[in-house]
Amino acid sequence: MKQTLPYGSWPSPISAASVVEGSRGLGSLSVDGDYLYWVESRPEEGGRNTIMRRAAGGKPEEILPRPWNARTRVQEYGGRNVLVADGKIWFSNFEDQRLYRMVPGGEPQAVTPAAELRYAGCVLDRNRARLLCVREDHRAGGEARNALVALPLEGVSEGEVLFADCDFVSAPSLSPDGSRLAFSSWRHPNMPWDDTSLWSAQLGEQGQLLALTLHNAGASESVINPQWSGQNQLYAISDRDNWWKIYRVEGDRFTTVETGIGQAEIGGPDWSVGDSYYYLLDGGKILAKLSRAGVESLVLIDPATSTASTLPLDSAAIIDFLPAAGRLFVINATAGAPPVLLETDLAGEGRRVIRTSRDASIGAGWIPPYRLVSFPSGDGGEAHGIYLPPTNPDMQSPKGTAPPLIVSVHGGPTAASSPTFQLNQLYWTSRGFAILDLNYRGSTGFGREYRRSLYGQWGIFDVEDAVAGANWLASQGLADPERLIIRGGSAGGYTTLAAHAFHDTFAAGASYFGVSDVEALARDTHKFESRYLDQLIGPYPERRDLYRERSPIHHLDGFDAPLLLLQGLDDKVVPPNQSEMIFEALKSRGIPTAYLAFEGEGHGFRKAANQVRSLEAELYFYARVLGFDTADQLPKVPIEGLDIPAAAESRD
């Protein structure tokens, strides 16, 4: 018999600690000889990234000892920071951002100087005994300088600049015979998903770029991820017809690789350096990651027949994949289990699990069945999301009641939510909360038109979509209209704050390193996003009026719902003053507000203790301000401006 308790008060075996315990992030696959390599992030080691490998038929082994931490800060979001070739490993060390070379079992040796330099996206140029890398130079102060550089394999060098006529440059792609190079670049105020230039060049005897060719002058398209076939045919991804697709490139002619698939994308926003969305296989076929409405899968494309078949992996998201020697290695995320590193054949059959992202799993009865939803929003628009109902096999709610709803807003804002298994979401659904994982206008995976619909409308369309989604679910009896919650990080934190400032829909909210003053952000953020707001809001300072109009800090009269603020004190993307300003302002107005700051955390919390603390703080905060009991014994969170009810005091 199920026990009957109000939504939000259900006891759950999924504690905040269990969300983190035994967890690990998996990424950056590479193959060298008989070994598969990957990078593993570990919250229980302070978020350290280590390097793992596995011999064919063997067991995983760690080859990067503590305290080494393989992580680059190029563009602050990082990217490919490990290169494995010919029995050697090159990696960027987080502490000093120098590149190091090591042989497994040996001590890492620095190959770049101790200077304000960062590296990512390196490839090996065997013909010339060098690495080709993206370098970010912070030595001159002010805005960093990005360039494509060549580093000799021996000795210590900062690198010889090959190309620097840009604000940003992508990871280079070297043809199989080493004769040609391709890359993309872009200039402010563009982001790599706006307007990029595709370049290719021949490599001279001394390694210099010859016959440098711009393939898409004046096209105003996002061209990413150039690759070469074995016959030196150049391929690239472009969104020129609204959907990111693969093209063959000859001069300025782009020819679509037909797949027979519509309303889907091969490609995505390059927040990090060196992502690959497809691989050209021997025999002419192409293995690619396809995204449709937030759901990703792997497809095998046959250009000869203009068809594509989906690999039977039950995927919801593909974290990374790599075909090698007739095998496929893929970090696969499904809706029903934590992500795993698999080995299969190129058809996705004969699967073998190499590594799991968690040491323990949970029964199927705790996993909510997701539902992809679309709903009308402001200005005649339509938005999308993923609805997760409260799910607990031991509990039920009183008849005639509806659950509290958490509207979860992703960052970016050019990102996307997918229906993958996430134990931190089950933390909420198992306690009786429903979740709307929002893919508001501006999200990726729905075409360029949908992605760009947010331009000039940030702080309006995203907020309208969050409000519309919450009200739409409440109108169907799937959410309690009196207990609607909004939460988000970074750009999602801004949407959370703006929803509180400009609407009265939500009864509570949690902002993780959110933006309260977009004008201050325009003046104080890192280079990669320093002009992003020109697209999202308008050019600054010319449209300073819009920046003030869209900033929650200038609309304090609109705030009346309780708000939790969480912030990393080492955040270079959204500096701590953004959370501190709104906290002090709301505190002075008597709005129930709490602020938790975390030493040693940047843009996103990597340390296990801080992940646990923030999750427990959210539950405590919602219980206190919305007035329901929890089955959990939770650490207190000081909440300014809140009179403590007796029932809440007894829980403490």
The predicted structure's pLDDT at residue 645: 47
- Answer whether residue 309 shows pLDDT above 50: yes
Q: Which two three-digit tokens encode residue 450?
A: 């949908």
Q: Please state, in angstroms and rounded to a whole number, the distance separating the CA atoms of residues 629 and 434.
A: 17
Residue 451 makes CB contacts below 8 A (sequence gap 6+) with: 193, 414, 442, 443, 444
SS3 letters for 29-78? EEEECCEEEEEEEEHHHCCEEEEEEEECCCCCEECCCCCCCECCCCCCCC
Q: Please state, in angstroms and rounded to a whole number, the distance separating the CA atoms of residues 73 and 97.
A: 7
Residue-wise pLDDT for 34-91, tens only, equals: 999 999 999 999 999 999 999 998 999 999 999 999 999 999 999 999 999 999 999 9
The predicted structure's pLDDT at residue 643: 58
- Answer whether residue 455 shows pLDDT above 70: yes
Residue 246 bridge partners (DSSP): 237
User: Rg of the chain's alpha carbons, rounded to an integer?
Assistant: 25
Number of domains in the chain: 1
- Compute how many other C-beta atoms are within 10 angstroms of the C-beta atom of residue 276: 18
Is 111 a domain residue? no
- Answer whether residue 343 shows pLDDT above 80: yes
Q: Please state, in angstroms and rounded to a whole number, the distance separating the CA atoms of residues 68 and 70.
A: 7
What phi and psi, each to the nearest 5 degrees, are found at residue 161?
-70, 125
The average pLDDT across 575-602 equals 96
CA-CA-CA-CA torsion sign (85, 88, 92, 94): positive
Q: Please state, in angstroms and rounded to a whole number, the distance separating the CA atoms of residues 533 and 547.
A: 9
Is 402 a domain residue? yes
Residue-wise pLDDT for 165-209, tens only, equals: 999 999 999 999 999 999 999 999 999 999 999 999 999 989 999
What CATH number does the domain containing 434 carry? 3.40.50.1820
Is 561 a domain residue? yes
Is 62 a domain residue? no
DSSP line for 591-633: --EEEEEETT-BSB--SHHHHHHHHHHHHHHHHHHHT---SS-
Is 495 a domain residue? yes
The predicted structure's pLDDT at residue 585: 96
- Answer whether residue 647 shows pLDDT above 80: no
The average pLDDT across 266-270 equals 95
For 98, the enclosing helix (H) or strand (E) is: none
Is 407 a domain residue? yes
Is 257 a domain residue? no
Full domain range(s) for residue 620: 3-15+368-651
Is 602 a domain residue? yes
